[in-house]
Amino acid sequence: MKAWMEIRIVPMAFAHLDQVVEIDNRSFSIPWSRKMFFDELMNEHARYFVSIADEKTPVGYIGMHVVFDEAYLTNIAVSPDHRRLGIGKKLLSRILETCREMDVTSVTLEVRVSNEVAISLYRSFGFRPVGKRINYYRNPTEDAYIMLLDISDTDSKRFGKLRN
């Protein structure tokens, strides 16, 4: 990615599905199908965002489910060609801002125990490990950390406004 590319975070739309599926296929050993993402966009409890490069191309996405005051981060991925440029941080910032707007009090997620880059990103936002799911992932089989973020007034002051 060129340094002058502008990255915007916008709500995911049906028009983004082909690019999101491509990112997912390049990012995960067991990717989601187009129908799974389509169904998520129809789910009233789901919120999904994409990162757009140069006003046109999705290069990353993030999604969550919200039930009452709790959120569950379903997935986050950035195209391999655009990693380590802060896009994941922008996506996570946007989804956490949405959580605060919706009065969510906690966010959970699972992450491969070997995914040090993602774990470091989550920790930088205040997530902490609270448990482990044994053999949670396949291809390869691996445990997952369960991570939790308590969103409170203290967290809001620490993060400030998270808009990109």
- Residues forming the active site: 110, 122
Q: Are the beta carbons of 164 and 94 closer than 8 angstroms?
A: yes
Look-up of token digits 């590319």: 5
Parallel/antiparallel/unpaired status of strands 46-53 and 106-112:
unpaired
> What is each CA distance from 159 to 76, 124, 153, in whole angstroms?
20, 10, 10
d(CA 32, CA 35): 8
CA-wise closest residue to 31 among 21, 43, 41, 16: 21
